[in-house]
Amino acid sequence: GSVFCSGLDFGHIVKNLRNDRNRMSTEIVDTIKSFVNVFIHFKKIIVVPVNGPAIGLGASILPLCDLVWANEKAWFQTPYMTFGQSPDGCATLTFPRIMGEASANELLIGGRKLTAREASAKGLVSQVFLTSTFTQEVMIQIKRLASYNPVMLQKCKALVCSNIMMELEQANERECGMLKKI
């Protein structure tokens, strides 16, 4: 397809619930929390080829992945304030660490849209490939990774992630706590 992730409009979902809103919104938040925790605790390398727009949670989870490759037409946006929603996916922790507080605020508060090249320059994306050769380039990179020792890949990932693991868990807890208040 041509879209990586169109995001989740949590506020819209909750407003349109016909039954027990509190119970259902809690279930939705718990699902988001569990989903994000999978990324935090996943032991194998997570490779993400972004083929188009990555909006909201789709953009927020990218720093939780190990390698993020985008085609030149991809773009990234977290329009949380537009929908009266708090950020998720640990973006309140990872975005400032990756791109600095000012750029993180542009995305999380201002809802700024980043091109693939801008996202790469800010550290959200590892590499940008031409759209015409995107699939082929990604497959070359994946085959290269597949040739590495899988145990060493996991150990390297564990070392890189070990210093931030507890902070990610706490950020996920805080962000989901805010979602429950919406």
8 is catalytic: yes
Q: How many CB atoms lie within 10 A of CB 52?
A: 19
Cross-strand partners of 147 = none
Q: Which amino acid is at 181?
A: K
Tokens (6 digits) for 174? 């805080």
16: Cβ contacts below 8 Å, ≥ 6 apart: none
Q: Cα separation of 169 and 39, whole Å?
A: 11
Is 88 catalytic? The answer is yes
In sequence order, what are the residues at sequence separation of 6 or more whose Cβ sits closer than 8 angstroms to the Cβ of residue 54? 4, 5, 62, 74, 75, 76, 77
Alpha helices in 46-115 (DSSP H): 57-60, 91-99, 101-108
Among 8, 93, 107, 108, the active-site one is 8
Determine which one of 64, 88, 114, 124 is catalytic: 88
- CA–CA separation, 55 vs 53, rounded Å? 6
Q: How far is residue 115's CA from residue 129's CA, in Å, rounded to a whole number?
A: 13
Residue 66: how many other CB atoms lie within 10 Å: 17
Which residue among the candidates 57, 93, 108, 179 is catalytic per the annotation? 57
Please identify every residue annotated as catalytic: 8, 57, 88
